[in-house]
Amino acid sequence: MTTVNPSVARRSSARLAAVQVLYQMDLTGVTAEEALKDSKDRRAEEPRGRIAEPDSSLLGQVVRGVATETATLDQLVGSALTGDWTVERLEAVLRAILRAGAWEMGARPQTPARVCISEWVDVAHAFYSGPEPGLVNAVLDRLAQILRAGELGKTPNAIG
């Protein structure tokens, strides 16, 4: 039996919570601060389960980062989608996962690209049992080739 590092579990939990907060923001139009407070209040009322308490710093960074940089993130994600897919056509939870994963890939170099991809694919598996986790993997891998080219041993490509 493997034991999970508590700080790793808290970061994973923060990513999952971030998607829920971003989804709420997308559907209701509330601000990042309102949605984060609502999320914190809800967690305080829930019984402690098997899921680790989210790393509040990472949760706040992801939500605020996505809220601040939505247009840029949508351009990045859109450039990594294939065919005639656009960010607007994506289902809201999937859109939140891809925006958050793209934000972390670009803003948190301390998270290795492969770990970032794996973590967000795991988040996608928490919400979907179909092809969506594969889409998350493909899009974030394409973004890693651009945003983390040096880390992956590739020559950087221009975005656009």
Q: What is the CATH number of the domain that holds 86?
A: 1.10.940.10
Please state, rounded to an integer, the average pLDDT across all residues of the chain: 90
Neighbours of 154 (CB within 10 A): 12
Structural domain tally of the chain?
1
Cα–Cα distance for residue pair 89/107, rounded to 1 Å: 25
94 within domain boundaries: yes
60 within domain boundaries: yes
156 within domain boundaries: no
Per-residue tokens: 148: 């983390």
Predicted TM-score of the model (pTM): 0.89
Average pLDDT over residues 33-44: 92
100 within domain boundaries: yes
DSSP 8-class letter at 155: -
pLDDT for 144: 95
126 within domain boundaries: yes
User: What confidence tens digit (pLDDT) does each residue in 114-159 have?
Assistant: 999 999 999 999 999 999 999 999 999 999 999 998 887 654 444 4
157 within domain boundaries: no
**Among 108, 96, 14, 5, which residue's Cα sits nearest to residue 55?**
14
Range of the domain at 105: 6-147
2 to 5, 13, 125: CA distances (angstroms) = 10, 18, 20
Residues 6+ apart with CB under 8 A from 20: 39
